[in-house]
Amino acid sequence: MLIELNHVTRLYGIVIGVNDITLDLPEGAHGLLGPNGAGKTTLLNLITGQLRPTIGSVRVLGQSPRGNPELFRRIGYLPGTEGMYADVSALEWVTYLTRIQGYSAAEAARLAEQALERVRLTEHMHRKISAFSRGMRQRTRLAQAIAHEPDFLILDEPFSGLDPIARHTMTTLLQDWIERKRSLLISSHVLHEIESLTRSFLLISGGRLLASGSTDEIGSLLSNMPSEVRLKVQSPRQLAAELLQGGLAETVSIEGERDLRLTTVSAGRLSEFLGQAISEGRYLITEMRSTEDSLQDVFNSLMKLHRGLA
Amino acid sequence: MNTLRRIPAVFAFEWRRALTIPRMGWMLALAALPPLLLFLIRMAARSDPPPDVAAVLVYVLSPCVACMMSVFLWSTPAVSSELEGRSWTYLSVRPHGTLAVLLGKYLVGVSWALPVGLLSAIIGSLVITQNDLPRLIATQCALATLSCVAYGAVFLLIGVIAPARAMVLGVIYAIVFEVAAAFIPAAINLLTIQHRLRCLLVRWMGMDMSIAEESPVLLAYFGEESAAWHVFLLIVMTAGYLVVAALLLRYREFTAAAETAT
């Protein structure tokens, strides 16, 4: 098992960082998703042994991570904060960290060069880190995490602050990593960033694990949740009445002359009905928008489900 | 043993990083300060001060002030600089990484402070007097070495105990314990490095302690033990501080994550 969390809770005084998470994660690639402040970094700090759980236990690759040199040989970690020495070159920095990993000077330099080549920084590896762009720094940080060929790579928001080209480069590098059958846990607050890497997600919010599984599994969990739809229609009152009568809307709210806001548990049936109504010319709908397409809304829905409010 | 293999890596890396002109300038200024002050004292006195007075003056300015300040600047921020720079995380997920960094930085601090102490002790001795120079220089160099090693460990420990307030606590410790408490002829001064170094100065310079023998207060001030005992205690104290710092590092949680307040 890659990660085993058993009722893990981490408190900072009276503030809850992570709240009673139980989880068994098999080897492979997984995405840790959650809005800012959800507890992702705390969870990663627990997994990398930097923090002790207040309650519960953490095991990574079958071992307790706290102060465990054996485990540290097998994991690579890219923290969410930069923390690089600006006054040294990329090669010096990666070599230094690889030496601390336990390699001889010559071996560490060889592994560092190899890692920097993999992140496509060979050309620039003798330049000072202070002269690097954000994307180059991220790739250097990735190089230090993979230089010692770990079995399990943990990345905390690796796409943060990257431009589209740098994002694409990072995605390609991580896809290579996954293709080599190595395990990966990648945190992000943006779903599409990690959708191209894995279909296995952990959804965390407010320190709680709201859901875990594939996108389909999470989708089916949400299928019975009411979703909100906004329409701009010429005769909103008439449409609202018809939707309520037909059982296609749970709640309706008319705002102004043309705005209709409704919630439905039958999104499929609703779109079928509206499509037909438009084609028959019964309603003139100029705009239709689902407000629940952002990750935050998915979290809000899951949070309601979690609290039994849905 | 695993940690020991990593210490040279930290030592070499930190030394290379430290080799900057401003830092070397600061160290040279610190080394030059005691000889300059001793020169001014010598000029004002217009004659060779008595040997014991000369020894005390060099001791106060070099092994005490210059060495203490040098290692203070190096050892105290050993942990806090990594935490503030958020580089700590990279070290804490490596086998024995943080311990290697702690001890490696301690050695870097001592190795930078030592030339400052030795240089200031040698030049300071040459400036202040021509009497019994070999003995004076040998004594001051030995005291400077012990001072760097012992104070380096104390300041390192302070840096581990309270990384967020390390520099402030370091100054408070130096003033309260090594300056004030060390001069109180009671049990508390036995715990200070200053007391041990002072006792060694008296013994190694062969100072006349006949007055102290008649006064219990002065006896407590200069001690009765042999020089070897004081050296042994300084080594034990240094090792003790380093072990406590290493243990704290092992069991306390240090994380650069902004949300962590522990």
Q: Compute the distance between CA of residue A39 and CA of residue A82 in angstroms, rounded to an integer.
A: 19
Look at residue B217 in the predicted model and tell me its pLDDT. Answer: 75
Residue with the bigger pLDDT between A148 and A274: it is A148
* Complex confidence, ipTM: 0.89
Q: Compute the distance between CA of residue B68 and CA of residue B116 in angstroms, rounded to an integer.
A: 10
Look at residue B173 in the predicted model and tell me its pLDDT. Answer: 96
Q: Please indicate whether, in this complex, the C-beta atoms of A41 and B257 are within 8 angstroms of each other.
A: yes
Look at residue B41 in the predicted model and tell me its pLDDT. Answer: 92
Q: Confirm if B152 and B68 have CB atoms less than 8 A apart.
A: no
Q: pTM value? A: 0.84
Q: In the predicted model, is pLDDT for residue A47 greater than 60?
A: yes
**For residue A189, which amino acid is it?**
H
Kindly list the structural domains of chain A, giving each domain's residue range(s) and its CATH number in brackets, ordered by start: 3-220 (3.40.50.300), 223-291 (3.30.70)
Look at residue B37 in the predicted model and tell me its pLDDT. Answer: 96
- Name chain A contacts of B94, Cβ cutoff 8 Å: 72, 97, 100-102
Q: In the predicted model, is pLDDT for residue A161 greater than 60?
A: yes
Interface of B with A (CB under 8 A): 2, 5-6, 9-10, 13, 16-17, 85-97, 100-101, 250, 253-262
Helix axes B51-59, B193-204, angle to 10 degrees: 150
> Per residue in A106-128, pLDDT tens?
999 999 999 999 999 999 999 99
CA distances from A277 to A230, A240, A273, B91, B240 (A): 16, 13, 6, 63, 83
**Count of helices and strands (H, E) across chain A:** 11, 13
Residue of A nearest to B18 (CA): A87
Residue A69's nearest CA partner among B1, B159, B144 is B1
**A290: distance to nearest CA of chain B, Å?**
34
- Phi and psi at residue A209, in whole multiples of 5°? -85, 110
Look at residue B258 in the predicted model and tell me its pLDDT. Answer: 40
**A83: distance to nearest CA of chain B, Å?**
4
When the pLDDT of each residue in chain A is averaged and rounded to a whole number, the result is 89
A230 — pLDDT class (breaks 50, 70, 90): confident
Q: In the predicted model, is pLDDT for residue A88 greater than 90?
A: yes
Look at residue A297 in the predicted model and tell me its pLDDT. Answer: 64
Other beta carbons less than 10 A from residue B104's beta carbon: 23
The DSSP secondary structure of B197-242, one letter per residue, reads HHHHHHHHTT---HHHHH-HHHHHHH-SS-HHHHHHHHHHHHHHHH
Look at residue B5 in the predicted model and tell me its pLDDT. Answer: 83
Q: Compute the distance between CA of residue B66 and CA of residue B60 in angstroms, rounded to an integer.
A: 9
Interface of A with B (CB under 8 A): 12-13, 17, 37, 41-42, 45, 48-52, 67, 69-70, 72-73, 75, 77, 79-85, 87-88, 92, 96-97, 99-102, 105, 108, 144
Look at residue B262 in the predicted model and tell me its pLDDT. Answer: 38
Look at residue B259 in the predicted model and tell me its pLDDT. Answer: 40
Residue with the bigger pLDDT between A272 and B108: it is B108
Give the range among A201-205, A220-224, B78-82, B215-219 with minimum mean pLDDT. A220-224
- Name chain B contacts of A96, Cβ cutoff 8 Å: 9, 13
- Name chain B contacts of A41, Cβ cutoff 8 Å: 257, 259
Q: How open is the CA angle A80-A85-A87, to the nearest 5 degrees?
A: 150
Look at residue A291 in the predicted model and tell me its pLDDT. Answer: 63
Q: Please indicate whether, in this complex, the C-beta atoms of A81 and B92 are within 8 angstroms of each other.
A: no
The list of chain B residues with pLDDT below 50 reads 257-262
Q: In the predicted model, is pLDDT for residue A222 greater than 80?
A: no
Q: Confirm if A203 and A210 have CB atoms less than 8 A apart.
A: yes
Give the range among A129-133, A278-282, B238-242 with minimum mean pLDDT. A278-282
Residue A249 CA to its chain's centroid (Å): 32
Look at residue B260 in the predicted model and tell me its pLDDT. Answer: 40
Look at residue A292 in the predicted model and tell me its pLDDT. Answer: 54
Average pLDDT over residues A48-75: 95
Look at residue A293 in the predicted model and tell me its pLDDT. Answer: 53
